[in-house]
A and B are shown apart, each in its own frame.
Chain A
């Protein structure tokens, strides 16, 4: 399978996301209940879905890492989780803005998706201190992968639990998010979702390329100086894409 180049990916992401946002403001009808505020939905929910999917992808990549031992999978897993956490920050902030616009409070416990997301975010935020606390690179990668798998399994479970807790007290407020959508809104939502997913992918590949460049730089430096230096890769916790000459292509 031929993977589209990073550039093609970036162009696609730009076009689709711009088209999506254009649809949001020029095509999608105004929601009868929430009015203009509802437009945040097209931003917040795709961000959330991509972040959560990203966490699960991080877990899958971690499985590949454990099974093959190839550190490149660890780098991919790390970047997937890292970017999903950044998307997660966006989810929480836009969710909070939406909450304040809808109910006057900056945080609400009624919205099970937002609450589940907070819990997942709090869990994944521990990924960095975990990596930082383990010095041996090899073990760090392995343990991080174990964490990524555990946390990935946790994501769906957590959503189920929180949803169950809330449904007993409050009816689902954003029931419109699940199929109650009129066709035009659904189309807009799907385009935004696709754009956001493409964006996530672009950023992941972008970051991996940067890591690869850093690693190659280290190789070059080592080769020219003839002796290993303090790696120029920088951060101890961000796994470098390995630059060993025996790396499997």
Chain B
């Protein structure tokens, strides 16, 4: 069964695994920011596309 001595050794091991976790979380954060930006820009473009679709319904066709 797990022997978890909370002495010096434990702190080092914990630090190592935390570094690993930290790297992953930082990566996720960066990718989340990228995704948020993509999402935002897609929304803008969707607005533009809908804005253009509306005049079309009035009988104008876009060249």
Q: Do chains A and B touch in the complex (CB under 8 A)?
A: yes
List A residues at the B interface (Cβ < 8 Å).
21, 25-26, 30, 35-37, 39-40, 43-44, 47, 86, 89-90, 93-94, 97-98, 100-101, 203, 206-207, 210, 213-214, 217, 220-221, 224-225, 232
* Candidates A21, A40, A43, A213; contact of B38 at CB < 8 Å: A213
| CB nearest neighbor in A for B11 | A101
Q: How far is the CA of A235 from the CA of B9 in the complex (A)?
A: 42
Least Cβ distance of A204 to chain B in Å? 12
* A-B pairs with beta carbons under 8 Å apart, 23 shown: A25-B4, A26-B2, A36-B5, A36-B7, A37-B13, A40-B13, A43-B17, A43-B20, A90-B20, A97-B15, A98-B12, A101-B9, A207-B31, A210-B31, A210-B34, A210-B35, A213-B35, A214-B34, A217-B41, A220-B45, A224-B48, A224-B49, A224-B52
Asked if B45 and A224 sit within 8 Å, CB to CB, the answer is yes
* Candidates A39, A47, A224; contact of B13 at CB < 8 Å: A39
Asked if A44 and B41 sit within 8 Å, CB to CB, the answer is no
Q: How far is the CA of A165 from the CA of B20 in the complex (A)?
A: 30
* Candidates B10, B41, B49; contact of A232 at CB < 8 Å: B41
Q: How far is the CA of A37 from the CA of B3 in the complex (A)?
A: 12
Residues of B within 8 A of A93 (CB): 16, 19
Asked if A36 and B23 sit within 8 Å, CB to CB, the answer is no
* Candidates B2, B4, B9; contact of A35 at CB < 8 Å: B9
User: Total interface residues on B, using CB and 8 Å?
Assistant: 28
Residues of A within 8 A of B35 (CB): 210, 213
Residues of B within 8 A of A213 (CB): 35, 38
**Residue B25 lies at the interface, judged by CB distance under 8 Å to chain A:** no
Residues of B within 8 A of A225 (CB): 48
Q: How far is the CA of A214 from the CA of B41 in the complex (A)?
A: 10
Residues of A within 8 A of B2 (CB): 25-26
Known: A26-B2, A30-B3. A206 touches B31 (CB 8 A): yes
Residues of chain B from 1 to 54 with CB closer than 8 A to chain A in the complex: 1-5, 7-10, 12-13, 15-17, 19-20, 23, 27, 31, 34-35, 38, 41-42, 45, 48-49, 52
Residues of B within 8 A of A86 (CB): 23, 27
Residues of A within 8 A of B17 (CB): 21, 43
Q: How far is the CA of A101 from the CA of B17 in the complex (A)?
A: 14
| CB nearest neighbor in B for A47 | B20
Asked if B52 and A217 sit within 8 Å, CB to CB, the answer is no
| CB nearest neighbor in A for B15 | A97
* Candidates B4, B20, B41; contact of A94 at CB < 8 Å: B20
Asked if B3 and A203 sit within 8 Å, CB to CB, the answer is no
Least Cβ distance of B62 to chain A in Å? 10
Q: How far is the CA of A234 from the CA of B8 in the complex (A)?
A: 45
